[in-house]
Amino acid sequence: MRGDATRGLILVRVSMDAVTSGTGHAPVDGGTDAARPRTFHIRTFGCQMNEHDSERLAGALVADGLVGTDDMESADVVVFNTCCIRENADNKFYGHLGNLKALRESRPDMQIAVGGCLAQMDKEKIQERAGHVDVVFGTHNLTSAPELLRRAATDGPLMEILDEPVPFGEPTAADQQTAALAAVRDLPYAAWVTIQMGCDNSCAYCIVPAVRGPEVSRPVDDLVAEVTELSRRGVTEVTLLGQNVNSYGRDITRRSPLFGDLLRAVGAVEGIRRIRFTSPHPKDLRPEVIEAMADTPEVCNHLHLPLQSGSDPILAAMRRGYTAERYLDRLAAARDAVDDLAVTTDLIVGFPGESEDDFERTLEVAAEAEFDSAYTFVFSPRPGTRAASMVDRFLPVSVTAERMERLRAVVERSALRRHRARVGRIEEVVVEGPSKREPSVTTGRTGQNKLVHFVAPAGRVIPSGSFALVAVTDAARHHLTGDLVEVTARPSYRVRIPVSAG
């Protein structure tokens, strides 16, 4: 199946009757005005993977002659890059899509495209709910979007969804590398790099394997070439993205994962000073990866290791493939090997059938793990997942809300304790820019991924991407505060082109 890139292609020509009456599309090659290039606006929902997909999509549209704009209302092409992982993301998306109906009707030359996870899963529903959409594309053919938009301008609405990713080695897979290199990145000094698409696991609550397909790793040489090019453009920090980065390369070698080797290879790229990655799966966190983290100074001393639950029966029902004891053992091994390691996690409250005992075990494991912070979620069923069918074991909202408060208290206690332990230290930060709430305050991020607010001397603007030393003077649950000691390195990037997120 994987060797045949054309199998599984659904190409649907949507009836013109479904679109607004009597509208022809202006030619996309010349634009509506010969002197003005067509503009695009991308609205992104969901995770970092989606945000980076939008950067690659922006690069493909720019290569096709379009120009990005922050103003959705005036854009000639509006693309929604959708998410179905979080419940609110799809509600928000359909709201935005509905709001554009009148605008689309008043501007016959405008085009609307919908891509990403929700498009992959919900294709018929999008057609039903939004006849004003011109193009629907899935997670595996993002780079086809410019061509689909061009074809839709003359042929009418189109939908193209591939059932599976195009394997590397297929001619069209080369598009992935081209798209990665051409991506219009949100930040000039830090970049996401997708190392792997899809997931081979089957966690009961997760829709990712259904919408992103099986794991497909990008070749090491392509990734090193991409990071080298990013460094040449002034990027000093990369975040390696995958659904399960620890199993990176398993599909290439058929033997052992290559993630440790990849960390070392990326660390050897001149100019790269910080490497982050997300997310590793606890069951696949092997000693070689911990060793590579410890041996590669560019790898940040931060590990995001999703626990999800501290109860073994619940972990089994979730199909996570580890026990709480195994999780804690691996965490201890990572903390022993990597100096001054910060650990963050994801936790789900109220998975179907979670008893009070199960939940208390989660509180105990969270307390023992001493997390620096945690993303805590109340279970919400995603249609199409195994957990969504466990209706008879769903918990009442009153129970999950109360448990969530108790869990937050435990996590925030350890976060505050760990943050207070930083007071008095000198931390190296990468400057992000003025604080959103208080522009006179500058924010930066430590290697442990902690946000630090500090005040620069009056009138001094420190460019984002600079490296600086900050003396930490105070700590809160979600950030540190401090005083600037000195700026140690200025950024070397040149251009910044924003891509908006929803």
Residues at the contact surface with ligand SF4, assessed by CB under 6 A: 199, 201, 203, 206, 208-209, 243-244, 281
| Cβ-based nearer residue to ligand SF4, 199 or 235 | 199
Q: How far is CA 20 from CA 16, 79, 187, 475, in A?
A: 8, 18, 38, 56
Is residue 275 classed as helix, strand or coil in its secondary structure? Answer: strand
CB of 278 to ligand SF4, least distance (A): 11
| CA dihedral sign of residues 12, 18, 24, 26 | negative
CB of 243 to ligand SF4, least distance (A): 4
CB of 308 to ligand SF4, least distance (A): 8
| Cβ-based nearer residue to ligand SF4, 387 or 395 | 387
| Cβ-based nearer residue to ligand SF4, 377 or 394 | 377
Q: Is 254 exposed, middle or buried (0-12, 13-18, 19+ CB in 10 A)?
A: exposed
| Cβ-based nearer residue to ligand SF4, 236 or 243 | 243
| Cβ-based nearer residue to ligand SF4, 244 or 443 | 244
The closest alpha carbon to 369, from 406, 402, 418, belongs to 418
| Cβ-based nearer residue to ligand SF4, 176 or 385 | 385
Which two three-digit tokens encode residue 35? 């002197």
CB of 208 to ligand SF4, least distance (A): 4
| Cβ-based nearer residue to ligand SF4, 203 or 293 | 203
- Mode of pairing for the β-strands spanning 480-489 and 302-304: unpaired
CB of 203 to ligand SF4, least distance (A): 3
CB of 219 to ligand SF4, least distance (A): 21
CB of 291 to ligand SF4, least distance (A): 23
Q: For the chain, give the longest Cα–Cα distance.
A: 69
292 within 8 A of 260, measured Cβ to Cβ:
yes
329 within 8 A of 305, measured Cβ to Cβ:
no
- The answer for residues whose C-beta is within 8 angstroms of residue 119's C-beta and 6 or more apart is 82, 126, 136, 137, 138, 139, 161
| Cβ-based nearer residue to ligand SF4, 281 or 419 | 281
| Cβ-based nearer residue to ligand SF4, 335 or 386 | 386
- Mode of pairing for the β-strands spanning 480-489 and 451-455: parallel
Helix (H) or strand (E) holding 99: helix 87-99
CA dist 488 and 468 (Å) reads 5
| Cβ-based nearer residue to ligand SF4, 231 or 278 | 278
Which two three-digit tokens encode residue 382? 């995603």
| Cβ-based nearer residue to ligand SF4, 202 or 435 | 202
CA dist 361 and 421 (Å) reads 26
CB of 321 to ligand SF4, least distance (A): 9
| Cβ-based nearer residue to ligand SF4, 245 or 468 | 245
CB of 166 to ligand SF4, least distance (A): 20
Q: How far is CA 350 from CA 327, 357, 391, 398, 401, in A?
A: 20, 12, 12, 11, 9
What phi and psi values does residue 247 have, to the nearest 5 degrees?
-100, 10
Q: State which amino acid sits at residue 411.
A: V
The closest alpha carbon to 263, from 272, 254, 252, 271, belongs to 272
- Taken as a whole, the chain contains a residue count of 502
CB of 199 to ligand SF4, least distance (A): 3
Helices and strands in the chain: count of H runs, count of E runs: 16, 20
Q: State which amino acid sits at residue 307.
A: L
Helix residue ranges per DSSP H, 254-311: 259-267, 287-295
CB of 317 to ligand SF4, least distance (A): 13
The closest alpha carbon to 257, from 224, 210, 204, 215, belongs to 215
CB of 255 to ligand SF4, least distance (A): 21
CA dist 502 and 78 (Å) reads 13
